């Protein structure tokens, strides 16, 4: 495939998530695409990632310069909810589709309206990968026949450290499974912004952030990042459990989350037979 036919992609966030996603795009991974632009607050981190990719994308430290990269069609956000608030509307208004890893940002009603309105005006898409959970297709299929959805997310205390919702537990010894939050998804994503994007994704696919209930459990013996989803309704009921390995460079999230983002991009770049999407 000639360079002129490659789908050009930009990446916001050059940390562990953004680096793995960017490195998966190209002739040895997601064929038919290339990364052409990077945006990050850290010039050192951004330039290091640019230098590691072949061909080298251009690193930008300003949104305006990043969006001036003409042929870029898709922007992958791999940074944070704050980055979605800072850059999401501008990306969509520029006509680029936005792949959101920080789906918790969509729990803010004003930001949700701003992003979806910008996408409607420009014709761009907002793409939310399934992230660290499965069963999203089943939830979407029964979303109008659901009575209840609950998520129990269990992680080791170290993976929850630094979250606002974990502040009261930071200096306490946790020796057994301890519930540190129990409430609706809309509150969970505020208190654990780097930990429970799964709650946002599940609620968007199902009955919404107010009715989707979340329990966050700190367990020093957790076998990984464990997510248990239960759904009931007129259709019947289902439940599933995922035991994910934490990302080797970012224990706050699961490795599956970035793999799901890679697969979402692969589906966009290489259309064809897709099962369960």
Q: Is 180 left (phi over 0), alpha (psi -120 to 50) or beta?
A: alpha
Give residue 147's pLDDT. Answer: 98
Global pTM exceeds 0.85: yes
As given in the structure block, the two tokens for residue 233 are 């309704």
Give residue 27's pLDDT. Answer: 76
Give residue 223's pLDDT. Answer: 95
What parts of the chain have a pLDDT lower than 50? 1-2
Q: What are the start and end residues of each CATH 3.30.360.10 domain in the chain? A: 136-252
Of these residues, 28, 56, 87, 227, which one is catalytic? 227
Give residue 195's pLDDT. Answer: 86
Contact 156, 218 (CB under 8 A): yes
Query: Does 227 qualify as catalytic in the annotation?
Result: yes
Kindly report the CATH class assigned to 3-128. alpha beta
Give residue 276's pLDDT. Answer: 65
Residue 246's DSSP bridge partners are 254
CATH number for the domain whose boundaries are 136-252? 3.30.360.10
* pLDDT per position as a tens digit, 136-192: 999 999 999 999 999 999 999 999 999 999 999 998 999 999 999 999 999 999 999
Give residue 273's pLDDT. Answer: 67
Q: What are the start and end residues of each CATH 3.40.50.720 domain in the chain? A: 3-128
C-alpha span between 148 and 255 (Å, rounded): 28
Contact 181, 192 (CB under 8 A): yes
As given in the structure block, the two tokens for residue 156 are 């080791």
Give residue 5's pLDDT. Answer: 78
C-alpha span between 274 and 266 (Å, rounded): 11
Give residue 70's pLDDT. Answer: 82
């Amino acid at each position: 495939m000639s360079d002129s036919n490659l789908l050009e992609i930009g990446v916001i966030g050059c940390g562990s998530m953004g680096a793995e996603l960017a490195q998966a795009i190209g002739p040895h991974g997601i064929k038919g695409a290339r990364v052409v632009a990077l945006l990050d607050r850290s010039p050192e981190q951004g330039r290091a990632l640019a230098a590691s990719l072949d061909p080298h994308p251009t690193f930008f430290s300003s949104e305006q310069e990043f969006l001036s990269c003409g042929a870029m069609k898709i922007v992958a956000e791999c940074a944070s909810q704050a980055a979605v608030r800072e850059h999401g509307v501008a990306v969509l208004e520029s006509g680029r589709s936005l792949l959101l890893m920080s789906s918790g940002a969509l729990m803010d009603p004003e930001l949700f309206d701003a992003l979806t309105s910008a996408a409607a005006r420009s014709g761009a898409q907002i793409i939310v990968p399934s992230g660290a959970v499965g069963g999203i297709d089943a939830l979407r299929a029964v979303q109008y026949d659901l009575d209840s959805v609950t998520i129990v997310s269990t992680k080791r205390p170290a993976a929850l450290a630094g979250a606002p919702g974990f502040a009261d537990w930071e200096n306490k010894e946790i020796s057994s499974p301890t519930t540190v939050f129990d409430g609706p998804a809309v509150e969970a994503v505020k208190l654990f912004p780097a930990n429970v994007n799964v709650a946002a994704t599940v609620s968007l696919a199902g009955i919404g952030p107010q009715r989707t209930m979340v329990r966050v459990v700190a367990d020093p013996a957790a076998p990984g990042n464990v997510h248990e989803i239960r759904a009931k309704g007129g259709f019947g009921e289902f439940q599933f459990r995922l035991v994910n390995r934490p990302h080797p460079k970012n224990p706050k999230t699961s490795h599956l989350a970035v793999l799901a983002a890679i697969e979402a991009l692969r589906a966009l770049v290489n259309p064809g037979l897709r099962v369960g999407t």
